Structure 1
Amino acid sequence: MTVIDSQALLVAGSLLAYAGSALAATAQQYSPPAYPYNSESANYTGQSNNSLQNTPIVSGKAFDRFIQIWFENTDFETAASSQTFQNLAEQGVLFTSYYAMTHPSEPNYIAVASGDFFGNAADDFRAIPMNISTIVDLLEQKNISWASYQESMPYDGYTGYNYTSFDYIAGSGDYTYYVRKHNPLMIFDSVSNVTERALRIRNFNDFARDLNASAMPQWSFITPNLVNDGHDTNIDFVSQWIQFWLNPLLADTRFNDNRTLILLTFDETETYNINNRIWTLALGGGLPTELKNTTDDTFYTHYSCLSTVQSNWGLGSLGRGDTNATLNNVFEFVASVTGWKNNGISGNSSDIPFLNLTGTIPGPLNPEYYVPFSAPNMNATGVGGGPVFQGPGLNTALSAASQPPPVNLTAQGLDTPWAQNPGYDYPNGTQVYTSTPSATTSASAGSWTRGEMSVIVPALTLLGLVIGSLLVL
């Protein structure tokens, strides 16, 4: 046998082994981590905290509560073929031209929080600096309560890269159910480095506590764990989770009252060589009755989640993709109430841009096309009528138009400075600093830490990059 033949067999064997493990993953049998849907569970590791203390309800023009639930890596046609998803569509308006922003997962989650994914083309650890604003800044300006619920996250404010806990499906061993890359607000220091904000990033034991106390916030982002969101499984598994967990909630007025809008969507398509159209449904008690079991072919993106909320509550803007006139259409039934006029792009229009590009967009989170963070467009017109939010100490001198040429840090053996773990966490409800070992952790570990980079970065060079980036913030 030749060396080439041996290598071919090794590669084939590896692929077969990978295929076998993938098939085993998708063949997992659904098992609820808790009975019933609104109960706490030891399978979530972390203990629940007190229920949220929310500000008084701030009335919106079209809804008073907005809930986003994200699933993973599924083509539009795959979701549409599911009987469970078809049944859900009868309760809402199906957006047939809703698109994700890019690939892979993490940049889409970053985008829906901030209006940009900053060139990111990986699912690696990212920590975005304090002066980069998010939807939280806009909500808090109007005293609108918010929270994020992350299934299988061990405790409130957990900042680790992932978390491995007891495999409640297999009934033995461990499984990594939680990942930071699906927790959008935690990636931003402006949330995760502010204790009172970080502790509003809660796990599902806290969700049960908040639901049962009728303490659901006005804005929330919900991420199921890696099996229930379809990342490690498939659409049938997601459907079983919906039947167990979501369907009862739709009938629970503590979650879904007559002023609630719920958005079900996916982060991205599974197939990368098609444009990034994803199955997305708006439903809930706040949806006009005449829209149930209908479709809307207006061109929407993940930025529409920002612009719709801004339009509903008359918020300011972030001056990024949320003010991009091509990408920021407001959900049509909300636009008709608020008086916002969308851009008219719909269906299969040739004006819909390609949103499946990855790896070639310059930004501070792309080490191959690195540029510093730029200020938002301070002159942008937001759909809510308010001004562009300006974080404390933000230097507006460096605009997107005046960016320097991209630098290939990877070719120099470097990574983006924003791949470094800032080192803080909230294991006991207060901020503490840790050391920096590995990028992963387990339930048996006393604390989490961020691992060393795959390439050792010369300290002075990295310091210069970090300082240079901070100066333009």
Structure 2
Amino acid sequence: MFRRQVAFVAAAVAALATVGAGVAMASQTPSGTAVAVAAVPRPDHVVVVVFENKDYSTIIGSSSAPYFNSLAGQGASFTQSFGVTHPSQGNYVAMFSGSQQGVTDDTCPRNLGNVANLGSQLIGAGFTFKGYSESMPSDGYTGCSSGNYARKHNPWVDFSNVPAASNVRFSAFPTDYTTLPTVSYVVPDMCNDMHDCSVSTGDTWLKNKLDGYAQWAKTHNSLLIATFDEDNFSSVNQIATVMVGEKVRTGTYSEQINHYNVLRTMEDAYGLSALGNAATATPITDIWSTTTPSPTPTASPTASPTSSPSPSPTPTASPTPTSSPTPTPTAGCVSPGQKLGNPGFETGTAAPWTATSGVLDNGTSEPAHAGSWKAWMDGYGSAHTDTLSQSVTLPAGCASYTLSFWVHIDTAETGSTVYDKLTVQVGSTTLATYSNVNAAAGYAQKTFNLAAFAGQTVTLKFTGVEDSSQQTSFVIDDAALTIG
């Protein structure tokens, strides 16, 4: 229903992209005599292929994506992988440079200058990098679009320190895989990446274009990473990510990762400094194996063994549970406990939250999850933006950093096009976006790991945007950030 002027803003603290969550064990026991290795091995070649705007459940287990699921069965399939923002362009920039670099929309062109990124790092360290873009009209092209090509999916063009020679058409992707650069990014065009065409179209493209490399990689110390930029706004930005290669232990893995973890893993493999948010992201270490008990000689000598916990030598046969008993705080954990002030809003005022006018509400038009008060964003049925934020310090050295809250979305919007949305951020990192397409009846609890932000003072910020058409209310209650 339409919101009364006295009603309140919704303090949605839906932090989902949990960079640097602790490593979990694989849910399948790999065959053979391979043993886990603690560091990230150094592949001869890495190929990263990025698809568009599909959530995890649309791909994994879907009959429309038989080849993608076949790859998942041949390598490491991540059940808790997430994009970092919406819309597309910020994800591509983040996965390539460790930060969104202030990019919050798909505006083109973006000229980000001499900012360090994976391509410039590799080239500067004596390795090689190329980005292969399908349907790009010419090598070195810097235009915003041409046919089914879109520059917003091509982040290396935005950085002046990546040479034009590294920006090539996908038609130049070699059939002799030994001639590939050290790291390659492959971007299908707007149809084959599933943006404008079906899942089955992109799945068939992946099989036809990259299965040869995937099979070759498994016997030539190389790696294929198949992932997505973001979901389709129907979940909490959960995406499918699969890695296949010679050193990869087959199984499903439940640690929470996002684009920054993937970037950090590649940087560790080649002894590169971790960029931006990748510096606080945990590298992926539990999926690697070697066929001999001795340490692999190709592991990066500069990867710090203290930055990534050692996985168990043999994974358990049963799937890793999504929630585990609260671990004992580690040494150095100072002042554990609940860190959010006024988590249920029952004081009747917003403080210590900073909120736009009319945020707090104790009426009955939108019910509270518990008690009388709740945070209520938007619901006016007219162009409106509400914000609510709180700064909080997460002490270092603790075993768990759990953010939870209850969210209720009341909307008159229907269909897959999103106009009204609630965006959740920690600092400059977008963690989740909620809208009519992921609304559920009543309240739903969301729980996320914020271990990536340990040792930092950060601001949780929740922004509700409503256009001038149908009304949407975003209601949040009983938020908590518990350090243990």
TM-score normalized with structure 1 length: 0.53
CA deviation vs aligned residue, 1:300-352 (integer Å, no higher than 9, x gap): 1101222111211211232x11112xx34334335996535437999746847
Question: What's 1:263 paired with?
Answer: 225
Please list, as runs of the form range in 1=range in 2, the aligned pairs for 1:212-291 lying within 5 A after superposition. Answer: 212=176, 214-251=178-215, 253=216, 257-272=219-234, 274-284=235-245, 286-288=246-248, 291=249
Verify the 8 A CA contact 2:228 2:241 in the aligned structure 1.
yes
Question: What's 2:279 paired with?
Answer: 323
Aligned with 2:267 (options 300, 310, 313): 310
Alignment-mate amino acid for residue 275 of structure 1: V
**RMSD of aligned alpha carbons:** 3.5
Please list, as runs of the form range in 1=range in 2, the aligned pairs for 1:395-406 lying within 5 A after superposition. Answer: none
Question: What's 1:105 paired with?
Answer: 88
Gaps in structure 1 of 5+ consecutive residues:
1-59, 165-176, 192-196, 364-399, 402-473
CA deviation vs aligned residue, 1:86-111 (integer Å, no higher than 9, x gap): 21212111011111101111000000
Aligned with 2:56 (options 46, 62, 76): 76
- Offset of 1:128 from its aligned partner? 3.3
Verify the 8 A CA contact 2:88 2:230 in the aligned structure 1.
yes
Verify the 8 A CA contact 2:140 2:168 in the aligned structure 1.
yes
CA deviation vs aligned residue, 1:414-452 (integer Å, no higher than 9, x gap): xxxxxxxxxxxxxxxxxxxxxxxxxxxxxxxxxxxxxxx
| Whole-Å separation in 1 of the counterparts to 2:144 and 2:76 | 35
Verify the 8 A CA contact 1:150 1:223 in the aligned structure 2.
yes
Distance 1:62-1:361 versus aligned 2 partners, 3 A rule: closer
| Whole-Å separation in 2 of the counterparts to 1:269 and 1:189 | 29
Alignment-mate amino acid for residue 199 of structure 2: I
More strand by share: 2
Question: What's 2:481 paired with?
Answer: none
Please list, as runs of the form range in 1=range in 2, the aligned pairs for 1:16-95 lying within 5 A after superposition. Answer: 61-80=41-60, 81=62, 82-95=65-78
CA deviation vs aligned residue, 1:228-264 (integer Å, no higher than 9, x gap): 110001211112212322223334x4x6652101100
Aligned with 2:156 (options 180, 185, 190): 185
| Whole-Å separation in 2 of the counterparts to 1:361 and 1:83 | 36
| Whole-Å separation in 1 of the counterparts to 2:171 and 2:199 | 25
Question: What's 2:169 paired with?
Answer: 203
| Whole-Å separation in 1 of the counterparts to 2:422 and 2:168 | 32
| Whole-Å separation in 2 of the counterparts to 1:212 and 1:270 | 35
- Offset of 1:357 from its aligned partner? 6.9
SS of 2:92's partner is: helix
Verify the 8 A CA contact 2:131 2:186 in the aligned structure 1.
yes
Distance 1:237-1:334 versus aligned 2 partners, 3 A rule: same
Distance 1:340-1:78 versus aligned 2 partners, 3 A rule: farther
Of 230-239 and 212-221, more deviation after overlay is shown by 212-221
| Whole-Å separation in 1 of the counterparts to 2:286 and 2:177 | 33
Distance 1:311-1:268 versus aligned 2 partners, 3 A rule: same
Distance 1:225-1:199 versus aligned 2 partners, 3 A rule: same
Distance 1:139-1:234 versus aligned 2 partners, 3 A rule: same
- Offset of 1:361 from its aligned partner? 8.0
SS of 1:189's partner is: coil
More helix by share: 1
Distance 1:357-1:67 versus aligned 2 partners, 3 A rule: farther
| Whole-Å separation in 2 of the counterparts to 1:228 and 1:182 | 13
Alignment-mate amino acid for residue 278 of structure 2: D
- Offset of 1:137 from its aligned partner? 2.5
| Whole-Å separation in 2 of the counterparts to 1:137 and 1:224 | 22
Verify the 8 A CA contact 1:119 1:359 in the aligned structure 2.
no
SS of 2:287's partner is: helix
- Offset of 1:213 from its aligned partner? 7.9
Question: What's 1:131 paired with?
Answer: 114
Q: How many residues align?
A: 281
SS of 1:280's partner is: strand
Verify the 8 A CA contact 1:312 1:334 in the aligned structure 2.
no
- Offset of 1:299 from its aligned partner? 1.7
User: Following TM superposition, where does structure 1 have runs of at least 4 consecutive aligned residues deviating by more than 4 angstroms?
Assistant: 334-338, 343-354, 356-363
Distance 1:246-1:353 versus aligned 2 partners, 3 A rule: farther
Verify the 8 A CA contact 2:130 2:181 in the aligned structure 1.
yes
